[in-house]
């Protein structure tokens, strides 16, 4: 498998808008017109409740994991196709063609993709996300911190005694920057004290 095929598979899988579809099937209409306007798990939880949010989280993470797993299987474990599939899945979630390129922030999809690439790094990084969430209760801030720490976590915890290939390191940095960029409005609201704290109440 070459990297273009891997990227195409990743984008197609990543662009499946599970949060949007779940809201439609639940009779809530276009999730982009409710709450924060995001199609991700956090907004789905706010609008439809915890169960729908968890389903969105798992499905969004699953599509990232599936993209990377397929690239690994078809590409015989080559680093290039794997990281391009993961990167394209995240881009697909952020900019899905089916929704006019208006998608989510990409955090859950990135988590799923990098769990396959380097699960120890992702779990360690998720501990940072959880601590930040418990202290401040800002899903956006926790996600930004998770993204910022991901390249370092992947470098040190990619595999026991091993650092990742250069392609993986560069791809991880790009994904982290994309996730932070997609949170730029949240950053503005955080600085201005206008960002809502996460709650499970609708």
| Confidence at residue 153, expressed as pLDDT on a 0 to 100 scale | 97
Reported as half-sphere exposure (CB side, CA atoms, 13 A), residue 36 has a value of 24
Query: Is residue 202 pLDDT above 60, yes or no?
Result: no
3-class SS shares of the chain: helix, strand, coil, % to 5: 75, 0, 25
- Model pLDDT for residues 92-103, shown as the tens digit of each residue: 999 999 999 999
Q: Give the Å distances, CA to CA, from 152 to 24, 118, 173, 190.
A: 38, 12, 9, 24
pLDDT at res. 193: 94
What is the pLDDT, as a whole number, of residue 36? 86
The CA-based angle 98-56-136, given to 5 degrees, is 115
> Quick check: 116 pLDDT over 90?
yes
What does pTM read for this prediction? 0.95
Residue 160 confidence (pLDDT): 86
């Amino acid at each position: 498998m070459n990297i273009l095929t891997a990227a195409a598979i990743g984008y197609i899988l990543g662009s499946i808008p599970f949060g949007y579809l779940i809201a439609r099937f639940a009779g809530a209409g276009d999730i982009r017109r409710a709450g924060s306007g995001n199609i991700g798990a956090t907004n789905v939880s706010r609008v439809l409740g915890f169960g729908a949010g968890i389903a969105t989280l798992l499905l969004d993470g699953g599509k990232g994991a599936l993209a990377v797993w397929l690239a690994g299987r078809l590409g015989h474990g080559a680093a290039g196709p794997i990281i391009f599939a993961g990167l394209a899945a995240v881009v697909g979630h952020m900019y899905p063609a089916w929704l006019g390129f208006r998608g989510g922030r990409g955090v859950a999809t990135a988590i799923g993709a990098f769990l396959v690439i380097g699960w120890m790094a992702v779990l360690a990084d998720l501990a940072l996300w959880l601590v930040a969430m418990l202290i401040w209760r800002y899903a956006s801030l926790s996600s930004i911190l998770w993204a910022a720490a991901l390249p370092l976590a992947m470098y040190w915890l990619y595999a026991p005694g091993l650092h990742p290939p250069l392609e993986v390191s560069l791809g991880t940095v790009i994904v982290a920057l994309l996730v932070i960029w997609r949170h730029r409005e949240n950053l503005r609201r955080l600085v201005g004290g206008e960002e809502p704290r996460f709650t499970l109440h609708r």
